Amino acid sequence: MLYYKVGAFNACLNNMKIDKELTVYQVKVIDEKIKVIDYGKVSAGFPSPAEDFVDRKLSLDDRYLQHPESTFIVIVGGLSMANEYDLDDVLVIRSDLTPHHNDDVIVSVNNSDYTLKRFDFKQNKLIALNPSYNDSIQLNADDEVKIMGVVTVQIKERRKV
């Protein structure tokens, strides 16, 4: 199996076939950053006494877009990864990272359209997470596998406004 990372996203975007169910956005650097107040952590279990107010600010740019030259945004449009990824979820993708076992990746096999799948290195296959889909792809030694990037952040809208 020939496996390689695509490389600098900006340089090769024009030559890529992207699955029609994925919407891809390039990250552009601008001078202005928006920061939100960080009130600390919230308990997801039993309530704990409130922390004293701390005047910290959180920059989503600094936290999630540290490498804008190799970062892009994808909007999920299909159902093959449903239950883990829903329609219109926003994904931050890093093209400079090497995928690890069970990473979710934007991938092309044998020059097919790029799509979102879980990469199982141990069984050498790409997995669709929707249990009603039989879209897993067994990779063979002669397959050409291109990884556009690794999913690093998932943003879910809980309430559309």
**136 is annotated as an active-site residue:** no
**Active-site residue identified among 80, 95, 108, 146:** 80
Indicate which residue of 95, 108, 117, 146 is catalytic: 117
What is the CA 101 to chain-centroid distance, rounded? Answer: 15
Question: Measured between alpha carbons, how far is 114 from 134 in angstroms, rounded to an integer?
Answer: 18
DSSP conformation class of 45: S
Give the N- to C-terminal CA distance of the chain in Å, as an integer.
46
Q: Would you call 59 a catalytic residue per the annotation? A: no
Judged on CB neighbours under 10 Å (0-12, 13-18, 19+), 60 is middle
User: Measured between alpha carbons, how far is 64 from 151 in angstroms, rounded to an integer?
Assistant: 11
* Helix, strand, or coil (residue 61): helix
CA distance 94 to 85: 17
Q: Which residues are catalytic?
A: 80, 117
